Amino acid sequence: MQEINQNLAKHLKQQRQQKNWSLDRTASETGVSKAMLGQIERGESSPTITTLWKIASGFNISLSSLIEPPTASSDATVIPLVLAQHKYLANDNAPVPPIFPYDPRFGFEMFEFILDAGVERLSEAHRPGVTEHVVVISGTIQLLINDEWLTLTQGEAIRFAADQPHGYRNSTDHAAVFHNIIHYGQTAADTPHAD
């Protein structure tokens, strides 16, 4: 978590400098308070995934651009092992390192999540054009899409427009594992003219 917070502090400062935004302007664009942004930049806060999504959307960048160092530009890139204890999509809303961080050449990022028994996570709408692709690796999860909970079991997959409120929950007695590919579409983060 400390490494994520350090990366986040560095990337948030870089984004503000690139856009020449003050903390006031950043707060206005992201909907995150100036005080919270200052704490994040000083490495004094572990923001929730909801807060990180607000920041990413305000800057028009991918989520993983905030929490991961950039990957090497190569056709064959080996991504370091993501530790299992960092994959939990828990009630504390902590960020999860991606399997594949966002790369503007491909327009997506990929996460593996472990959803513990009884955990429910709601997500605000992402910006227009963002699509999520969810594949259940083990167990059973439910997805909230269009105000309806849909059940997915091992091996099932779904693609949905994520520019609407949505959610994930596990109503069973056992943990479930799923992969989530977030694709940024034609308005992809880090592409030219994204401002």
Whole-number percent of the chain with pLDDT over 90? 37
pLDDT at position 112, please?
Answer: 87
Encode 15-62 in three state secondary structure: HHHHHCCCHHHHHHHHCCCHHHHHHHHCCCCCCCHHHHHHHHHHHCCC
The topology under which CATH files domain 84-187 is Jelly Rolls (2.60.120)
Mean pLDDT of 140-155: 96
pLDDT 10s digits, 117-129: 999 988 888 888 9
pLDDT of residue 47: 82
Inform me whether the pLDDT recorded for 132 exceeds 60: yes
Q: What is the pLDDT of residue 68?
A: 67
- Measured distance CA(74)–CA(189) in Å, rounded: 19
Question: What is the mean predicted confidence (pLDDT) over 62-90?
Answer: 60
On the CB side of 171, how many CA atoms lie within 13 Å of its CA? Answer: 9
pLDDT in the model for residue 7: 79
DSSP 8-state class, residue 190: T
Q: Is the pLDDT of residue 116 over 80?
A: yes
Model confidence pLDDT, tens digit, residues 94-110: 557 788 888 888 889 89
Q: What is the pLDDT of residues 21-61, one digit of tens each?
A: 999 999 999 889 999 999 989 888 878 777 888 888 888 88
Decide whether 2-67 matches 84-187 in CATH topology. Answer: no
Q: What pLDDT is stored for residue 74 in this prediction?
A: 54
| Domain definitions of the chain by residue range | 2-67, 84-187
Mean pLDDT of 173-190: 80
The domain 2-67 is placed in CATH, from the list 2.60.120.260, 3.40.50.2300, 3.40.47.10, 1.10.260.40, at 1.10.260.40
User: CA 193 → CA 126, 138, 190, distances in Å?
Assistant: 19, 40, 9
Q: How far apart are CA 71 and CA 68, in angstroms?
A: 8
